[in-house]
Structure formats: C-alpha cells, structure tokens
Amino acid sequence: MAILRVFLTLAICLLLGHQTFAKNDAPCQLSKWNNGYNTFIKRHIRSGTPTSLDQNEWERYIGNNGGCNRPTQSFLHPKDLERVKAVCSNAGGKKFKENLCISKQPFTFVTVRSDQGTCKIRSVREETKHLILACEVLDNNCLPVHFEGNPESLQPNNNAEGCQDPQTRSHAPSFKMTWLQLSVLLVIIYGY
C-alpha cells in the first residue's frame, strides 16, 4: 500500500508540474502568463519609435526607453495593432506549431540588432515578412504574447487550420487540478 501511495503522489506532482510550467501546445488556450499581452505591446508596438532607419536615432531611442539587454528587437507600426491582434484569429492567421500562429498577410516592421548588454546598435533594417506570434487567451480574448523570429521568411500553409479565437476554437477537455484539490486528494490517499 505504501508503494501505491508514493506512486500516486509522484504521478499527481508530475501532472501538476507539467500543467504549471509547460507552454500551451496549441494557440488560443488559457494563458499561464497574465501580463503576456501587455509585455508584447511594450516590446513590439511602442508609440514614439523612430520613423527613420538611422542607427543613431534608434540607439538614443532604445537607450532612453529600455531594451539594451535584448540583442534583437522587432518593432511593429502602432497603426497595425488591430491587424497584429487579428493574427490570433481565423481571419488573420493560420496555426503554425505549438501555440504559434503565422499571419496570412505579410507585415512591414523594423528589426534592430545590438551588442547584447549594450545599446550599441549594429544594424537597423526594415523587413516585410509573415509574423509568427504566440497566441493565448487573456480576459477571454486570444491575443499575441510573444513575437517569434521568422529568419527563413516562412509563409502560412494554406491547408493549415485558422488560428482560432475563443468564440470558435474547439474546447478540448483538459485535466486541471488546483492546489486545494491536490491537498484533498492527498488527505484521501494518506488518510485511508
């Protein structure tokens, strides 16, 4: 009986650990990171970004607004916010892999590369590519939480499913257990 209790306890802990620390395996699932969308906006759709590709101007901007610790940064145009959010829906995106969606249409954005830990800019380049974004549900909306690089200029697979929003996504059953439920279960296991 003691071996069974140890096995059950270990199995429950592994299930909880997987649920707590694993990233979502499909887009538009409940986010485990409540501030993901706000962080995405702060990093990638900032107002006041330089309108030129002048390295000195970008160096001053990044130095004054934070980001010197990130060697590669991509900045989308604030006017494209609704189009960017639409990548996380059937209308604007296709499933790519895991919790990533790829935009149906290309976007133009600026990529700034710097020496890590400094604000010394190595290059500023305007790019036009399909966006690859991690999409998760926050406040009942499927929103972008991460900008994934697309160095190979990949395009969406026309046969892929749409990146579904919360109203149309399939609700696959999932195992969820709170710490209170775990405590009750452990009391039941060890109480008998």
Distance CA 70, CA 190 (A): 49
pLDDT tops 50 at residue 3:
yes
Closest CA to 73 of 102, 38, 114: 114
Supply the pTM of this predicted model.
Answer: 0.75
Would you mind telling me the total number of residues written for the chain in this entry? 192
Pairing assessment for the beta strands 100-114 and 121-138 based on DSSP bridges: antiparallel
pLDDT over 90 for what percent of the chain?
A: 63
Residue 184's alpha-carbon distances to 65, 88, 178, 179, in angstroms, are 48, 38, 10, 9
pLDDT tops 50 at residue 102:
yes
Closest CA to 163 of 151, 179, 145: 145
Instruction: Residues 25-173: name the CATH superfamily.
Output: Ribonuclease A-like domain (3.10.130.10)
Residues 127-142 as b/e (b if ≥16 CB within 10 A, e otherwise) read eebbbbbbbbbbeebb
Q: What is the mean pLDDT of residues 11-26?
A: 53
156-180 pLDDT, tens digit per residue, is 999 999 998 545 444 443 444 445 4
Pairing assessment for the beta strands 72-76 and 100-114 based on DSSP bridges: antiparallel
DSSP secondary structure letter of residue 11: H
pLDDT over 70 for what percent of the chain?
A: 73
Q: Where are the domains of the chain?
A: 25-173
Distance CA 172, CA 181 (A): 21
